[in-house]
Structure 1
């Protein structure tokens, strides 16, 4: 059977939480629940590293503004992780060229990452932290559910991931004004944090 649905789903999930994808797939493979996960993702050192990084993300992802900084730092990490995981899955099955799988996983991860990062910018226009916590928990549960479904029914999980990706892009377009407001607020904070005389205007005296 083609591994493409699993590749697409893992790419979408990697754009939301790459460490959770590596951790869950590795654990499912190690437990013998699927033969699609390559041994490199089941290694103890990989699982430990993914677990530690997942815990760090679980904390950072729920703090206003820290979550957006974390997302910015992972703009490259998540798509690369999605591409690597996809290539490994394809290499283990032999039903899809690794380069093609990497392109699908990486591009899908990039799109879902942009949806996640943009959504967080919009949420951060609200001063209270509860929105961030709620959105982060929904993302964590969503990734866990989608990856679990992908192990047992990859086609169904790919359909769900595809629908969520399209809906996310549509919502992101509607929230464009709130995202611009967040960017303006962050730029203003940077300006306020500059020492006197650091900008383009110098005090006269």
Structure 2
């Protein structure tokens, strides 16, 4: 079973075949619902519209490229002018004469927030895997500290490993001891609030 074409080129090709078939075979097709001449008129109109659309698309693409190039040139010139004005002006009021203002003061880096939902996702004889959620508040985290301490007797928190992602594998953990683990986010501004603690006996 034949399938009606979907693209313009094949539709026009089928129209040409129909026009020729109706025109050259009047005894086979004595009274088609549309005459070959009317079909030819419609075909030519469609072809003209396609040609016009193609030309318009090409013109639109060229106009967009021209606009982008013009704005790039304008941006570069304005940035050069702003750099000159920032070097030359002696006050914000003078920068205001060209519609500009002083540079904003850099925002101080804040310490990271608290890592969330720390949990043990895998535990072996002398190793375990910790997983947590990144802080929802505070400054950007540079890295995480995985800290460990004994429970009985209560020991000091010590650094076990560091990570840049929100999971870590800890190996070489002494067995037969109840241990607590926590995660602390850190950056150049300092350490954030420690996460919840988890307890394990390996």
Q: TM-score range by the shorter chain?
A: under 0.3
Pick the structure with more helix per residue: 1
TM-score normalised over the length of structure 2? 0.23
- Name the structure, 1 or 2, with higher relative contact order (CA <8 Å, separation 6+): 1
TM-score normalised over the length of structure 1? 0.23
Pick the structure with more strand per residue: 2
Tell me which structure has the larger Cα radius of gyration.
Answer: 2
